[in-house]
Structure 1
Amino acid sequence: MATVHDKGVEAIRIARAAGVRIASGSDLLGPLARDKALELHLKTQAMTPLEAVVSVTLTNAELLGIADETGTVIDGRYADLLVVDGDALADLRILRDRSRLALIMRQGRVRKAAYKIV
């Protein structure tokens, strides 16, 4: 597993150096879906935390041809949004701690709010 991990990080570094846009995807389904946030943390071994977040938001939207609808937080766009209690860019593993998720929006609707929304 360590070899696979190291080669994966190396592949991302090589691709970035060659100008390849790094997007994100997963085949984790069912109970394993809770580990999708781990991908972001793993990417930080080859890119910055902000670049890892952009890879799963704006880059994915651009590559799918839907960047005018989603991928950034702009009025009028579809919103799947997480607000965390802490600084996710300091350590993306915070996204794996469900107790730190202060707000979850899916398709523009609040699904979880730890605080009253005014």
Structure 2
Amino acid sequence: MHSHQLAEFTPRAQVQPNADLIRSATTTAARLLRMEGQVGTLSPGAHADLLVVDGNPLEDISVLTKPQEYLKHVIKAGTPV
């Protein structure tokens, strides 16, 4: 099922702005898990991973749904992988 997680963004983008989709996957999820400030944010002390993509997911959500095409770098716990 892991390979299908990103696919949910495609139909949701038809009814919800891309910024809201990204927010729901990050800060809103952190709030629901009662982990605000620990996950879903890029801030000192947080468990932050960073994805570098070739494109702007605010304009085109497929930048996030097709990592084989758009994902350029992953930084996990401050270290490039």
TM-score by length of 2: 0.83
Following superposition, the deviation at residue 54 of structure 1 comes to 0.5
How many equivalent pairs are there?
A: 80
Contact 2:37/2:43 (<8 A) preserved: no
2:46 alignment counterpart: 77
Change (3 A) 1:97 1:71: closer
Percent identity at matched positions? Answer: 30
C-alpha deviations, 1:40-96, integer Å up to 9, x for none? 222112210000001110000001000121111122211122110111111111221
1:98 alignment counterpart: 68
What letter matches 1:42 in structure 2? P
1:57 aligns with 2:26: yes
Contact 1:37/1:93 (<8 A) preserved: no
State the superposition RMSD in angstroms.
1.6
Q: Which has the higher contact order (CA 8 A, sep 6+)?
A: 2
Q: Which has the larger radius of gyration?
A: 1
Gaps of 5+ in 1: 1-27, 112-118
